């Protein structure tokens, strides 16, 4: 049960020391590792899966938010800021686009095969996921980083003042690992609540729970109302082709909006109407607004999107196919671990955060960072966190390896009461999903329903904390910990959604339909069991215990 | 989700065991097995890393369709995603021909 020093002293485990430990092998983790190594640190990157295929980017084809230097730069950022629900911070927006631009040029210099645009100039505003991440893996290995694939982290070590490393399981060798580190970058991605979407298998919020156990606060957790259309039953939560979709009922009747117009364009303003229609009855789509030239570009530019159609098979430009909205949790939602310093430090000394694990409110406010912004954010925040962690480790010297540290993991690892085998990770995840996935609960929110969801998830949390345990193999322990992290993340999301008594961005409350200027600020949560919510305006108040 | 490991195509390199981000395969000393099918995230990445196009991921993410190797072979679907991307023998290729910039222009 759990991990302790004695077990780790055994030869069947791995115990390493390093300057910087990066947890997570998506783009943010890869950039953090490169940056820390370039700043002279010895770096270990531990990933739950495989650096190159892990994370939401690798299976995708993602735009970047590219704002080249020039006179218009401030205007572009200003215009985007106006769409963020007044929660973003233009300083962070400007420095993110600047750092991302610089690093995309580095990628080109290093030889990443970007395409040319129609004028023959290198087009760096798009990254094809599989190629990008395969390239990043080679670059990270070339920089001398030690890469531990299939080594998920499950908890931090802490010396009373600062994080001193992390421990986890080597899931393919069924053994434990521990790394003592001068500083840690957490790049574990968002929490997708076990939705079957591209890249989400590993995105279970483990990093959120680990950070919160160490005392880090979270922010923007109410912004989990982002959903994207996908062919029904598929993993392809890629909205772009639906820009050219028309929507129908099963019998071929066009679905009309409140003004009697046919519903088209699934990624625009009409998304809400489509969600409403889907709650009533199944929705079908045809990509019939795409001209032949565009059909060809879509097929060749977004080949992953066509895999489900080609294998079904169905011609999506001519035939109706059923669609669904896939929930995207905090992945295309916004919330995460709150950043406290310019170099992506958290509230916890020696702990840095990058990519979707962090709150992206400074960049996108209450709107989705899906696609371009999150991609640029992974690059920029990865770069800064690697620098910050390397500098911290240098200042700290070897003290992280000398002090006596203790492991912090609780829920799912070390139950507070007697472990009960009857409480399975699958049951826990299904119970959380019943509250945070349905459109009628989480896309359209309402105080009474949120309170009912909170009551259920709060009592579930008590069971998780007291009884959930994955005694047995490395894999069963990991599964229990993941379920605990999903439960914690769901609970934070609902607590924050109750606290934001207004509608803003992707947080839509039918009992508070408009935005309240007094709530134009972030809601910060602290604590795992006893959650304290605070905001700049209200001060602190305990909302769940 | 992952449904087929073709015994006739597989060269037992175990690359799929290594690269699957969801750890669905187990090495066996012979042809790898699908040990944890329900963990599959239907990302299709194992297919493109496979040097011999021996893997098939069906389009349904919510559960298996029970498609057989002969169906996949007959319909020419082994390696179809790799070919669409321009990846060959498990190695990256084709991103320099990505016309997505044209879609982004049309999208506005």
Indicate yes or no: CB of B43 within 8 angstroms of CB of A49: no
Residues in chain A closer than 8 A to B41 (CB atoms): 59, 196-201, 235
Buried/exposed B4-42: b ≥16 CB within 10 Å, e otherwise: bbbeebbeeebbbbbbbbbbbbeeeeebbebeeeebbbb
User: In angstroms, what separates the C-alpha of A65 from chain B's closest C-alpha?
Assistant: 12
Which residues touch A106 (CB under 8 Å, ≥6 apart)? none
User: In angstroms, what separates the C-alpha of A27 from chain B's closest C-alpha?
Assistant: 14
User: Are the CB atoms for A480 and A412 separated by under 8 Å?
Assistant: yes
Q: Assess whether pLDDT exceeds 70 at residue A537.
A: no
Indicate yes or no: CB of B59 within 8 angstroms of CB of A58: no
Domain residue spans in chain A? 5-224+330-401, 227-327, 425-544
Residue A381 to residue A28: CA distance in whole angstroms: 7
User: In angstroms, what separates the C-alpha of B94 from chain A's closest C-alpha?
Assistant: 8
pLDDT band at B71 (very low <50, low <70, confident <90, very high): very high
* % of chain A at pLDDT higher than 90: 90
> Scanning the structure block, which residue is given the tokens 């037992």?
B12
pLDDT tens-digit profile of A410-448? Answer: 999 999 998 887 899 999 999 999 999 999 999 999 999
Average pLDDT score, chain A: 94
Indicate yes or no: CB of A301 within 8 angstroms of CB of B102: yes
Q: Strands A43-46 and A14-23: what pairing? A: parallel
Q: Assess whether pLDDT exceeds 90 at residue A539.
A: no
Torsion of CA A67, A72, A74, A78, to 10 degrees: -90
pLDDT band at A482 (very low <50, low <70, confident <90, very high): very high
pLDDT band at A402 (very low <50, low <70, confident <90, very high): confident
User: Are the CB atoms for A308 and A234 separated by under 8 Å?
Assistant: yes
* % of chain A at pLDDT higher than 70: 96
Spatial strand order in the sheet of A246-248: A227-231, A321-327, A283-286, A246-248
Which residues touch A327 (CB under 8 Å, ≥6 apart)? A192, A193, A195, A224, A226, A227, A436, A437, A442
Indicate yes or no: CB of A234 within 8 angstroms of CB of B21: no
Q: What is the pLDDT of residue A4?
A: 38
Residue A363 to residue A359: CA distance in whole angstroms: 9
Within 321-380 of A, beta carbons closer than 8 Å to B belong to: none
Residue A40 to residue A38: CA distance in whole angstroms: 5
Residue A254 to residue A194: CA distance in whole angstroms: 32
Q: Residue A264 in 3-state DSSP? A: strand
Residues in chain A closer than 8 A to B98 (CB atoms): 61, 115, 126, 128, 300-301
Residue A201 to residue A192: CA distance in whole angstroms: 8
Phi-psi region of A367 (alpha: psi -120 to 50; beta: other; left: phi over 0): beta
Q: Assess whether pLDDT exceeds 90 at residue A84.
A: no
Q: How many CA atoms lie within 13 A of A462 on its CB side?
A: 7
Q: Which CATH number fits domain A227-327: 3.90.700, 3.40.50, 2.30.29, 3.30.450?
A: 3.90.700
Which whole number is the average pLDDT over A330-344?
Answer: 97
Q: What is the pLDDT of residue A541?
A: 54
Q: What is the pLDDT of residue A42?
A: 98
Q: Is A518 on the interface with B (CB under 8 A)?
A: no
Q: What is the pLDDT of residue A544?
A: 55
Q: What angle do CA A276, A364, A489 make, to 5 degrees?
A: 70
pLDDT band at A370 (very low <50, low <70, confident <90, very high): confident
Q: What is the pLDDT of residue A71?
A: 78
Which whole number is the average pLDDT over A251-269?
Answer: 92
Q: What are phi and psi of A139, to 5 degrees?
A: -65, -45
Q: What angle do CA A81, A28, B22 make, to 5 degrees?
A: 120
From B21, B60, B93, residue closest to A54, measured CB to CB: B21
Q: Which residues pair with A147 in a beta bridge?
A: A45
pLDDT tens-digit profile of A168-198? Answer: 999 999 999 999 999 999 999 999 999 999 9
Token readout for A437 is 């996935």
Q: Assess whether pLDDT exceeds 60 at residue A5.
A: no
pLDDT tens-digit profile of A93-117? Answer: 999 999 999 999 999 999 999 999 9
Please tell me the CATH code under which domain A425-544 is placed.
Answer: 1.20.58.100
Complex ipTM over 0.95: yes
Please spell the DSSP secondary structure of A163-222, one letter per residue.
EEEEEEEETTTTEEEEEEEEEEEE----B-TT---TT-TT-BSHHHHHHHHTT-EEE-TT
Which whole number is the average pLDDT over A387-409?
Answer: 91
Within 293-312 of A, beta carbons closer than 8 Å to B belong to: 294, 296-304, 306-308, 310-312
Which whole number is the average pLDDT over A318-335?
Answer: 97
Indicate yes or no: CB of A235 within 8 angstroms of CB of B43: yes
Domains along chain B with CATH numbers: 2-107 (3.30.70.20)
Q: Is A199 on the interface with B (CB under 8 A)?
A: yes
Q: How far is CA A248 from CA A143, A283, A286, A295, A543, in A?
A: 52, 6, 8, 20, 43
Q: Which residues of B touch A (CB under 8 A)?
A: 17-23, 39-45, 48-49, 58-62, 77, 80-81, 84-85, 87, 92-104, 106-107
Alpha helices in B38-99 (DSSP H): 45-49, 69-74, 80-85
Residue A255 to residue A536: CA distance in whole angstroms: 43
- Give the nearest chain A residue to B64 (CA atoms): A233
User: Are the CB atoms for A247 and A284 separated by under 8 Å?
Assistant: yes
What class does CATH assign to A5-224+330-401? alpha beta
From A126, A132, A235, residue closest to B42, measured CB to CB: A235
Residues in chain A closer than 8 A to B23 (CB atoms): 49, 150, 171-172, 475
pLDDT band at A543 (very low <50, low <70, confident <90, very high): low
Which whole number is the average pLDDT over A243-248?
Answer: 97
Q: What is the pLDDT of residue A545?
A: 47
Q: What are phi and psi of A355, to 5 degrees?
A: 70, -150
Indicate yes or no: CB of B18 within 8 angstroms of CB of A50: yes
């Amino acid at each position: 049960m759990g991990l302790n020093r004695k077990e780790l002293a055994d030869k069947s485990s791995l115990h390493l020391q390093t300057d910087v430990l990066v947890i997570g092998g998506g783009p943010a983790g890869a950039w953090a590792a490169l940056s820390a190594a370039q700043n002279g640190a010895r770096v270990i990157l531990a990933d739950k899966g495989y650096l190159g295929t892990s994370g939401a980017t690798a299976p995708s084809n993602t735009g970047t938010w590219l704002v080249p230097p020039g006179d218009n730069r401030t205007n572009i950022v200003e215009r985007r800021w106006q769409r963020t629900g007044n929660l973003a911070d233009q300083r962070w927006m400007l420095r993110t686009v600047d750092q991302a631009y610089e690093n995309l040029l580095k990628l080109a210099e290093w030889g990443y095969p970007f395409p040319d645009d129609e004028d023959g100039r290198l087009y760096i505003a798009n990254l094809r996921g599989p190629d990008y991440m395969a390239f990043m893996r080679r670059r990270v290995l070339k920089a001398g980083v030690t890469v531990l694939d299939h080594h998920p982290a499950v908890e931090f070590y802490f010396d009373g003042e600062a994080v001193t490393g992390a421990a986890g399981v080597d899931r393919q060798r069924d053994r434990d690992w521990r790394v003592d580190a001068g500083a840690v970058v957490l790049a574990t991605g968002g929490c997708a609540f076990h939705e079957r979407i591209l890249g989400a298998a590993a995105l279970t919020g483990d990093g959120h729970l680990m950070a919160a156990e160490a005392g880090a606060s979270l922010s923007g957790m109410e912004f989990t109302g982002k959903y994207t259309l996908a062919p029904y039953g598929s993993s392809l939560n890629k909205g772009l082709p639906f820009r050219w979709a028309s929507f129908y009922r099963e019998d071929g009747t066009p679905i009309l909006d409140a003004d009697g117009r046919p519903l088209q364009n699934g990624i625009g303003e009409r998304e809400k109407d489509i969600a409403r229609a889907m709650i009533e009855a199944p929705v079908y789509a045809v990509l019939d607004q795409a001209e032949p030239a565009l059909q060809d570009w879509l097929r060749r530019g977004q080949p992953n999107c066509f895999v489900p159609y080609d294998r079904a098979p169905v011609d999506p430009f001519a035939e109706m196919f059923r669609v669904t909205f896939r929930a995207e949790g905090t992945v295309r939602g916004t919330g995460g671990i709150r950043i406290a310093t310019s170099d992506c430090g958290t509230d916890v000394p020696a702990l840095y955060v990058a990519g979707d694990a962090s709150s992206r409110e400074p960049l996108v406010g209450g709107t989705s960072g899906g696609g371009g912004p999150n991609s640029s954010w992974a690059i920029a925040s990865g770069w800064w966190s690697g620098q910050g962690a390397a500098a911290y480790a240098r200042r700290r010297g070897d003290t992280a390896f000398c002090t006596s540290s203790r492991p912090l993991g609780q829920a799912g690892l070390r139950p507070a009461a007697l472990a009960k085998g009857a409480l399975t990770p699958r049951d826990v995840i299904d119970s959380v999903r019943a509250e945070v996935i349905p459109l009628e609960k989480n896309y359209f929110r309402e105080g009474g329903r949120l309170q009912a969801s909170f009551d259920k998830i709060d009592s579930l949390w008590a069971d998780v904390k007291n009884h959930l345990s994955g005694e047995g193999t490395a894999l069963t322990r990991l599964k229990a910990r993941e379920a605990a992290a999903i439960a914690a993340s769901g609970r934070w999301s609902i607590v924050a959604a109750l606290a934001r008594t207004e509608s803003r961005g992707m947080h839509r409350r039918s009992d508070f339909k408009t935005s309240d200027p007094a709530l134009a600020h972030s809601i910060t949560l602290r604590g795992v069991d006893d959650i304290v919510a605070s905001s700049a305006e209200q001060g602190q108040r305990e909302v769940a215990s | 989700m992952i449904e087929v490991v073709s015994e006739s195509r597989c060269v037992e390199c175990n690359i799929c065991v290594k690269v699957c981000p969801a750890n669905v395969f187990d090495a066996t000393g012979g042809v790898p097995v699908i040990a944890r099918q329900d963990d599959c995230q239907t990302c299709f990445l194992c297919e493109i890393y496979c040097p011999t196009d021996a893997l098939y991921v069906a389009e349904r993410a919510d559960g298996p369709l029970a498609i057989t190797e002969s169906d996949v072979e007959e319909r020419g679907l082994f390696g179809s995603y790799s070919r669409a991307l321009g990846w060959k023998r498990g190695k990256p290729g084709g991103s320099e021909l990505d016309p997505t910039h044209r879609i982004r222009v049309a999208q506005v």
